[in-house]
Amino acid sequence: MRQALLYSRLSDGRVRCGLCEHRCTIAPGARGRCGVRENRQGVLYSLVYGRLVAKSVDPIEKKPLFHLLPGTRSYSIATVGCNFTCQFCQNHELSQWPRAHASELDSEPLGGQLSDGAEETPTSVVQAAIASGCETIAYTYGEPTIQLEFVLDTAREARAAGLRNVLVSNGFMTPEAIDLAAPWIDGINIDLKAVSNDFYRQIVGGDVRPVLHAIEQFLSEGVWVEVTTLVIPGLNDGEDELRWTAEAVAGISTSIPWHVSRFFPAYRMQHLPMTPRSTLERARAIGHEAGLKYVYIGNLPGGFEDTHCSVCGTLLLKRHGFVLERSALVDGSCPECGTDLDGVWFAGSKIGR
């Protein structure tokens, strides 16, 4: 266990967590909605510090981050837990584990097959990332917000060792949490699941407004931001909904890459069909119509992962799925017209917009 960040003590031994926008009031002996932060005699603790249940080496494109060090590898780690209850979650075995196994969270290992029982340290994670030839550490799979203590300790050591840090997040963070994280985070992909609050309340268990604010705040604090929307048939795939989502992203910055991703039946939405190709192609067109310079289709290989110059249309980054096959960039710019491509293109480079 590790004492939690961002909480305040209330009367009668209760505490209020300030990590995500649920801002849970937690009685003694109880846990927050994420299931991994517990009030013990008026002190809030993280129950998952260093208790990693996933460690793997991925292409940075898998996050997906297409405009941050393309073609490099990212050391990806996760704990169990999430502050959302998305009915379509593709990693529900990890994200919802604390809700399904609340009495087992104090045991080692977590859920048997989920962990080998060895607690990791920031140093061990950084050493593993370097040994595997990665240029970034990605805090992903589950929701990294709920393990912010370990994320920050690891990110500081990673930065000192010359590595960069990226988050894959639902964006439901408080401004205070973003203020703590942003100085140590180089890139983030935020899931903007829809712009309908009914969708967030009924399907996700949250509110869209803090997510939009997180996109704005991370961007304003110099973090490279990309956005993903999983397009789910019958739920958020209507023409108006897609247009409003694209316009929300473009209203923050037209340079934000928008990934519209294909849904596959998962978790509590096994009954829904996968997203038709035509819907995804229309979503991509809507993104461009809204003024976004970079719109990609995820989970549907076939040229929709390529990056073109937003001015002259030259093919700059050729991808197949998560594999970067060819780059025509010259010092981060288009070789034909000289336009700088928004993003982070080589080690030591500053974030471009």
Residue 352: pLDDT band by 50, 70, 90 thresholds?
very low
Largest Cα separation within the chain, whole Å, is 67
Q: What angle do CA 215, 318, 302 make, to 5 degrees?
A: 85
Do residues 152 and 181 lie in contact, with contact meaning Cβ atoms separated by under 8 Å? yes
Q: Can you give the pLDDT at residue 321?
A: 87
Indicate the SS3 state at residue 333. Answer: strand
Mean pLDDT of the chain: 94
Q: Tell me whether residue 160 is exposed, middle or buried, using C-beta atoms within 10 angstroms of its C-beta: 0 to 12, 13 to 18, 19 or more.
A: exposed
pTM above 0.85, yes or no: yes
The string of DSSP letters for 34-103 reads: TSSEEEETTEEEES-TT--SEEEEEEGGGTT-SSBSTT-EEEEEE-S--S---TT-TTHHHHTHHHH-GG
Instruction: Give exposure, 119-144, as e/b (b: 16+ Cβ within 10 Å).
Output: ebebebbbebbbeeebbbbbbbbbbb
For residue 120, give the H/E element and its range. Answer: none
Q: Rounded mean pLDDT of 81-105? A: 93
Q: What's residue 353's pLDDT?
A: 31
Task: Quote the CA–CA distance of 171 and 183 in Å, as a whole number.
Answer: 16
Residues in the chain: 353
pLDDT in the model for residue 119: 83
Whole-number CA gyration radius for the chain: 20
The residues with which 297 forms a beta bridge, in sequence order, are 260
Indicate whether 348 pLDDT > 70. no
pLDDT band at 351 (very low <50, low <70, confident <90, very high): very low
Q: How confident is the model over 194-223, as pLDDT tens digits?
A: 999 999 999 999 999 999 999 999 999 999
Q: Of the candidates 226, 249, 172, which has an alpha carbon nearest to the alpha carbon of residue 204?
A: 172
**Residue 212 structure tokens:** 């939009």
pLDDT tens digits, one per residue of 229-276? 999 999 999 999 999 999 999 999 999 999 999 999 999 999 999 999
Give the mean pLDDT of 77-83: 96
Which letter does DSSP use for residue 256 in this model?
A: S
Residue 283 has pLDDT above 80, yes or no: yes
pLDDT the model gives residue 143: 96
- % pLDDT > 90, the chain: 89
pLDDT band with cut points at 50, 70 and 90 for residue 105: confident
CATH number for the domain running over 54-301: 3.20.20.70
Res 167 pLDDT > 60: yes
Asked if the model's pLDDT at residue 104 lies above 90, the reply is no
At 303 the pLDDT is: 73
Contact 214, 255 (CB under 8 A): no
Q: Which pLDDT belongs to residue 301?
A: 79
For the chain, the domains span 2-46, 54-301
